[in-house]
Amino acid sequence: MTQSLRVGGRLGKYRLERKLGEGGSAVVWRARDTVEGRRVAIKVVNDSVIADWGRAAVEGEARVAAQLDHPRIAGIRNADWIGDHFVMVTDLARTSLDEYPGARRSPDLALSILADVAEGLAYAHERGLLHRDIKPANIFLYEGRRAKLGDFGTARLAPAATRVLTEVGTFGYIAPEQAYGRARFASDVFSLALTAYELWAGALPGWPFEWPFEGAQRFVARCPVRVQPVIRRALTLDLRKRWSDAVEFHEALTKAIESTASDRAKSKKKNRSGARAPRKTGTPPDPFVLEIEWFRKRFGRALDATYACHACEGPVSESMTHCPWCGTTRNSFVHVTRFPLVCPSCERGVRPEWKACPTCSRGRFEGNGKAIPISRQSERTCRRPGCGAPIDRFMRYCPGCKQKVARPWKVEGLDPCERCRWPMASRWRFCAWCGKKNSAAMDVSIGRRRRGRGHA
């Protein structure tokens, strides 16, 4: 009789902690190796798959996948029968791409993930192995936000219903020719390019895959110019015009990325060395630019507002949950934070000693066990019994115990927000801490902009 799997149960030396996902061919669990004392991901092949394909076929697929030894592929550490279950063990990822919004917020991070996966897929194609099921759920992110392609060894075993159409009339991430049973290397390339397109465009194209796709305008604005033709060729329906395999695709993508880096370096050098363009006579300066320049000089240092909002380019800090100029809550500090680590939930910087994110408190990470050091920004100490962790300026929660900071922070020269009582500049359109609208500042701003543009 097949052993039932449940949270807290044992499967050989592994204690099951949480079900991570379930597909047509297997169920994935987070488990703890009770012998080696580390957490792993365990893929348990479904009984129906074993019954349909047989034990030899299942073992054969795992044997082929285990031969893939590459840093951009989530390799199989162990494959074995435990009772009547066939189990494949891999390293535990931080998250999967479909559960990580940071890749959709940051175009550069999306490009980095694409490059990592393309490298791993090219390695597999060189050895004659198709993946057949490339999608965000099978791309995993590890330490340092490096990506690996997973689920080799079970994709071919999935029932036909899960390999063809995800819903009526929609191919999902599967290439059209693969949906009709004619998978080839170019099909994997199509699926990977479709995944990348969705990250940049925020939309998943569907049949008949004719340009311009849904979200094309956003794709063109966010995807590097030199990378765009590489992606568009990978999404061509005509197999004769598409990249034949991931080796070709990866080579073209690498050249495009190198050219993009070169273009950016030249642009930065030109901006630093080139003469400042003379201001057009008769054109008044943008009032918004004058406002943020005044704010930076007056309060920029006190609020640590050294970053620029991705939407309006107004000055913001990592501790702000809202942009005080446009109100957006989608600023990501993944690539600019001064901290060594990043909270996976709010994408603010964190220290390895912290047990919780002081901005959102939801970050799922564990401290390294060391005492939280006192920094130059530390101004308070947590009063919770048994904690006593130092609290830096503008922290919302204690990084040691998640206790919410009770007393609002204050800045000389700034009045408190009517809602949250945290410091708020009179010219802010929104409170940077709670998002409350400042109607007076909005009305003044509109009037200034109209006068600055020459309107009555």
Same domain, yes or no: 252 and 372: no
Same domain, yes or no: 30 and 150: no
* Residues taking part in catalysis: 133
Question: Structure pTM?
Answer: 0.61
Better-predicted residue by pLDDT, 216 or 23: 216
Taking a C-beta distance cutoff of 8 angstroms, is the pair 325, 317 a contact?
A: no
224 within a domain of the structure (yes/no): yes
- Of the candidates 407, 427, 215, the one whose C-alpha atom is nearest the C-alpha of residue 314 is 427
Same domain, yes or no: 24 and 112: no
Q: How many domains does the chain fold into?
A: 4
Question: Over the stretch 3-44, which tens digit does the pLDDT of each residue have?
Answer: 688 898 999 999 999 998 887 788 999 999 999 999 999 999
Q: How far apart are CA 226 and CA 277, in angstroms?
A: 27
275 within a domain of the structure (yes/no): no
- What pLDDT, on a 0 to 100 scale, did the predictor assign at position 236? 94
265 within a domain of the structure (yes/no): no
Contacts of residue 325, defined as CB under 8 A and 6 or more positions apart, other chains included, come to 288, 292, 309, 312, 314, 316, 428, 429, 430
301 within a domain of the structure (yes/no): yes
3 within a domain of the structure (yes/no): no
Give, rounded to a whole angstrom, the gap between the first and last alpha carbons of the chain. 83
Same domain, yes or no: 236 and 132: yes
Taking a C-beta distance cutoff of 8 angstroms, is the pair 425, 438 a contact?
A: no
Question: Over the stretch 347-395, which tens digit does the pLDDT of each residue have?
Answer: 888 988 898 899 998 765 677 888 998 888 899 999 999 999 999 999 9
268 within a domain of the structure (yes/no): no
29 within a domain of the structure (yes/no): yes
Same domain, yes or no: 358 and 387: yes
Same domain, yes or no: 299 and 223: no
Does residue 448 surpass a pLDDT of 50? no
Same domain, yes or no: 429 and 296: yes
Of 91, 106, 140, the residue at which a domain comes to its end is: 91
Which range of 95-109, 197-211, 245-259 scores highest in mean pLDDT? It is: 245-259
Same domain, yes or no: 310 and 382: no
CATH number at residue 125: 1.10.510.10
Residue 14's domain comprises 10-91
5 within a domain of the structure (yes/no): no
- Of the candidates 177, 92, 50, 189, the one whose C-alpha atom is nearest the C-alpha of residue 131 is 189
Out of 6-10, 75-79, 136-140, 149-153, pick the least confident. Answer: 149-153
Taking a C-beta distance cutoff of 8 angstroms, is the pair 96, 139 a contact?
A: yes
Burial of residue 212 (CB within 10 Å: 0-12, 13-18, 19+) is exposed
Q: How far apart are CA 424 and CA 415, in angstroms?
A: 6
Structure tokens given for 308: 């620029």
- Of the candidates 91, 75, 76, 86, the one whose C-alpha atom is nearest the C-alpha of residue 33 is 91
- What pLDDT, on a 0 to 100 scale, did the predictor assign at position 294? 85
What amino acid is encoded at 355 in this protein?
K
Alpha helices (H) in 202-330, listed in sequence order: 216-222, 228-234, 246-273, 287-295, 301-303
CATH number at residue 78: 3.30.200.20
Name residue, tokens 């819903």. 167
Same domain, yes or no: 202 and 72: no
